[in-house]
Every structure is written in structure tokens, then in C-alpha cells.
Amino acid sequence: MKKEDIIFGDWQRWLFGEAPPSFVGETAVRALLIFTFMLLIMRLMGRRMKGQMSVTELAVVLTLGAVIAGPMQIPTAGLLPSFVVLVALLFMHRFTNWLAYKSRPMELVQQGDAAVLVRDGLLDLPAMQRQGLSQEQLFGQLRNQNIAQLGELRRVYFEANGRLSLYKLPEPQPGLSVLPREDAPPAAISGPAQHKQVCATCGQVAAPTDHAGGRCLRCESQNWVPASLVKTGKEGEE
């Protein structure tokens, strides 16, 4: 379109672009046909596409969006090429899933592997750094699963699909509270958490001689807070 063809008061161009008004009805029919075909393709891709997606499946979905955008709205674009691309994506998706089933290395390349973020109430800081996950992001997900402090946890796995899998200790131990600082419980006045301090960086529970003006023996941080023994669904300290 030339510059002189752009007129601010040209309402037909605003509403219909360069296509004739009759193309509006055709757009609706195109959208209906592509939507129906997309439902068929997504059904053939399997149940995984309806759940939490892997990286490969997310790439397929983004590609699907790019494929169907043009034929829905551009008068000069035909439907058949987009249908061919959709079928090709279906076969490619099925083929890569077959390769992942047959080969563990190929599965790791496509989908990644689970990472351990918490071990016996302690944060695995190198693993969090590799996954690009901050402490607050992890704590937010733990709070969504009703976890009050790290001492409740034996393992936390960061799955390949982006979800967290939690395995709790039989009996909670003193640990680092995952609540925001302004809502963190006060220091315990009795019980196992009394007089105990915990590293606010990695969750290491230390003896008084470890944190008295010194660095954490595990991560070398000097940020100490009172240890918490709040249990999930309970109020106060034990």
C-alpha cells in the first residue's frame, strides 16, 4: 500500500482492510473449517497436548498458531497449504514422541529431565540456578501447595513439564519459612526450634556457634533468621 492511499477517514479500510466487504463472511467460514481441522489434529496428537505441555509440545502449539493465522485472514492465502502443514506437524510430533520412547538421550534432548531443588529441607542452590528459578518463585509454588517451611520436605523435584513434585518428611524438622518476611512466624520460645537460626539463603539450620557473626558453612551467606517449625495447616510454633 502506498503512503497516499492511507487516509485517516477511510472507514472501509479501517473495517475491511484491502479486502472487499464480502470477505468477512468468507473469513468466518475459513475460521470454522480451520478450527474443525485443528480439533482433529489436536485429538490425533494425543492426551499429552491437553495436559501440561513439554517444550516440544509448546513449540508445536506456537507453530500451529502461526500456520492458521494467515489462511483465516488473508484473502490471497489458500486453505489447502495450511492443512498440509498441519498434517506434517502431526506426523513430526508423532515421530519425535516415538524417538523419545525408543531413546532415553533423545527424550532428554526433547523434554529435559527432573531436577532436585530441595534435599532434606535444604535448597539446592546450583540446581535452582541451572533451572533459572529464584527462591521467591520456588517459595511461591510451595505456598500454593500448602507448605509453610522447608523442614517439612524430604525432596522437591522440578519436573520436565514445569510442575513441582513434593515428598514430605514423616515428621517435620525446624527449617526456613517459605512465607513472606512480614508474615514469617516469630522465634520459637519452646520446642525443637527454640534458639535455632536458619540460613535465609539455603535453609541450613545451624548451631548458635555457627551463626554468631559467622558465615553459613554450606553457602557462606551471613543472612540468618529464626528457624520455623510451623506445620502445614497449623497455627503457631510447636
- Per-residue pLDDT tens digits for 197-232: 899 999 998 876 665 557 888 888 888 888 888 765
DSSP letters along the chain, please? --GGG--TT-HHHHHHTTS-TTHHHHHHHHHHHHHHHHHHHHHHH-GGGGSS--HHHHHHHHHHHHHHHHHHH-TT--HHHHHHHHHHHHHHHHHHHHHHHH-HHHHHHHH---EEEEETTEE-HHHHHHHT--HHHHHHHHHHTT--BGGGEEEEEE-TTS-EEEEE-SS--SB-B-S-GGGPPPPPSSSTTTT-EEETTT--EE-HHHHSS---TTT----EEE-B-PPTT--S--
DSSP letters along 33-72, please? HHHHHHHHHHHHH-GGGGSS--HHHHHHHHHHHHHHHHHH
Percent with pLDDT over 70 in the chain: 74
The answer to whether residue 236 scores a pLDDT higher than 50 is no
The per-residue pLDDT for 121 is 92
pLDDT in tens, 145-188: 999 999 999 999 988 777 889 999 998 899 999 988 888 777 77
Q: Does pTM surpass 0.75?
A: no
Q: Report the chain's mean pLDDT, rounded to a whole number.
A: 77
- Can you read off the three cell numbers belonging to residue 136? 521467591
Nearest to residue 67, comparing CAs of 53, 84, 50? 84
Ordered by start, the domain boundaries in the chain are 3-109, 115-226
The answer to whether residue 52 scores a pLDDT higher than 70 is no
Q: When comparing pLDDT for 159 and 235, which is higher?
A: 159
Q: Which fold has domain 115-226?
A: CRO Repressor (3.30.240)
Q: When comparing pLDDT for 70 and 204, which is higher?
A: 204
The per-residue pLDDT for 139 is 93
Nearest to residue 166, comparing CAs of 177, 158, 174? 158
The answer to whether residue 237 scores a pLDDT higher than 50 is no
The answer to whether residue 110 scores a pLDDT higher than 70 is no
Residue 147 CA from chain centroid, whole number: 18
